[in-house]
Amino acid sequence: MLLAAGVEPGDKVITNGFTFAAVPSSITHAGASAVYVETAENYTICLVDLEKKIASSGARYFMISHMRGKVADMDEVKRICDNAGVVLLEDCAHSLGAGSQGKSLEHFLVRLWFVVVVVVIFFLFCS
Ligand SMILES: Cc1ncc(COP(=O)(O)O)c(C=O)c1O
């Protein structure tokens, strides 16, 4: 995803401080380095620190993870990124069933994929 978005070796990618090894690992594998943003009291990303880190790092990419299904104010996140010319990438690994401002983060195909996996498992073990 990072390479497809245009991340190149030496780039900086902003991401959550509250994260999982797979996230900074993917940044490292893309040849970039991670810039971590503080966590708010509700476990979402701290938007004040996000603006500070965008300004101080000069990073052009921000990969947000909705850790444990905790979703930040994505309208505000998008506004901050758009104003700074930062490319917003979402890691939705923890987002099954999660939403923001009444809207589900799941894509229809993700739900369909989930249903297919459940049906296949059902037939494998119950037939
Ligand atoms: C936040 C997060 N992103 C991505 C992943 C997927 O990692 P990988 O592609 O290495 O399986 C995980 C796996 O647990 C995760 O917790």
- The full set of domains in the chain, from first to last, is 2-126 (3.40.640.10)
User: Which structure tokens are listed for 79?
Assistant: 């506004």
Residue 66: per-residue pLDDT: 93
- Whether the per-residue pLDDT at 47 is higher than 90: the answer is yes
* Res 55 pLDDT > 80: yes
Q: Please state the φ and ψ torsions of residue 2, each to the nearest 5 degrees.
A: -65, -45
Q: Is the whole model's pTM more than 0.85, yes or no?
A: no
Separation of 53 CA from ligand 1 center, angstroms?
Answer: 23
> Ligand 1 within 6 A of 20 CB?
yes
pLDDT band for position 7 (50/70/90)?
Answer: very high
At residue 36's C-alpha, the angle toward residues 12 and 34, to 5°, is 30
Q: Say if strands 61-65 and 87-91 run parallel, antiparallel, or are unpaired.
A: parallel
The residue whose CB lies within 8 Å of the most ligand 1 atoms, and thus the one to mutate among 16, 20, 26, is 20
